Amino acid sequence: MGDGTQPTNPIRAKLATELLVNQLGDQVTVVDPNNTDEFMVGLDRLYLGAVHDKEYVQQTIDGTNPVWIGNKPRVGEAAFAMFRGTMRATDAIIDGHAKVAFNPQGAKHHARENFGAGFCAFNDMVYAAKAFQAAGLKPLYLDWDIHAGDGVYHMLKGSTVPTISIHVGATYPHDPELNVSLDERAELHDPTIDKYNFNLRRYDGDDAFIEAIDKTAKIIDEYRPDVILLAAGADGHTGDSNLGLLANYTAKGFEYAANMVASKALEYSQGRVLIGGAGGYQPLKETPETWALVVSTIYNQIKKGA
Q: Please enumerate in sequence order all residues whose Cβ is within 8 A of that of 61, keeping only pairs 6 or more positions apart, or say none.
A: 45, 76, 77, 79, 80
Stretch that binds Zn ion, among 11-19, 57-65, 144-152, 297-305 (CB under 5 A): 144-152
194 forms part of the interface with Zn ion (CB under 5 A):
no
Cα separation, 165 vs 145, in Å, equals: 8
CB closer to Zn ion out of 146 and 220: 146
Q: Which of 145, 204, 206, 286 is in the footprint of Zn ion by CB under 5 A?
A: 145
Stretch that binds Zn ion, among 50-58, 133-141, 228-236, 288-296 (CB under 5 A): 228-236
Are residues 200 and 144 in contact, defined by beta-carbon separation less than 8 angstroms?
no
Instruction: Find the helix or strand (DSSP H, E) in which 155 lies.
Output: helix 150-155
CB closer to Zn ion out of 76 and 280: 280
Strand, helix or coil at 137? coil
Stretch that binds Zn ion, among 12-20, 47-55, 249-257, 276-284 (CB under 5 A): 276-284
Q: Show contacts of 61-68: CB within 8 Å, 24+ apart.
A: 67/115, 67/116
CB closer to Zn ion out of 271 and 280: 280
Closest to 172 in 3D by CA, of 288, 7, 28: 7
Nearest distance in Å: CB 114, Zn ion: 22
Q: Which of 52, 112, 147, 201 is in the footprint of Zn ion by CB under 5 A?
A: 147
Q: Which of 116, 149, 236, 279 is in the footprint of Zn ion by CB under 5 A?
A: 279
Q: Please enumerate in sequence order all residues whose Cβ is within 8 A of that of 212, keeping only pairs 6 or more positions apart, or say none.
A: 166, 198, 200
Stretch that binds Zn ion, among 14-22, 194-202, 214-222, 226-234 (CB under 5 A): 226-234
Nearest distance in Å: CB 12, Zn ion: 13
H-helix segments, 96-136: 124-134
CB closer to Zn ion out of 151 and 233: 233
- Burial state string for 162-177 with b = 16 or more CB within 10 A and e = fewer than 16: bbbbbbbbbbbbeeee
Nearest distance in Å: CB 110, Zn ion: 8
Residue nearest to Zn ion (CB): 279
Q: Identify how many contiguous H helices and E strands the chain contains and give both numbers.
A: 9, 7
Q: Which of 44, 226, 235, 286 is in the footprint of Zn ion by CB under 5 A?
A: 235
Nearest distance in Å: CB 279, Zn ion: 3
Between the CA of residue 54 and those of 39, 61, 86, 122, 132, what are the distances in Å?
A: 19, 11, 19, 12, 22
167 forms part of the interface with Zn ion (CB under 5 A):
no
Q: Rule CB under 5 A: which residues touch Zn ion?
A: 145-147, 233, 235, 279
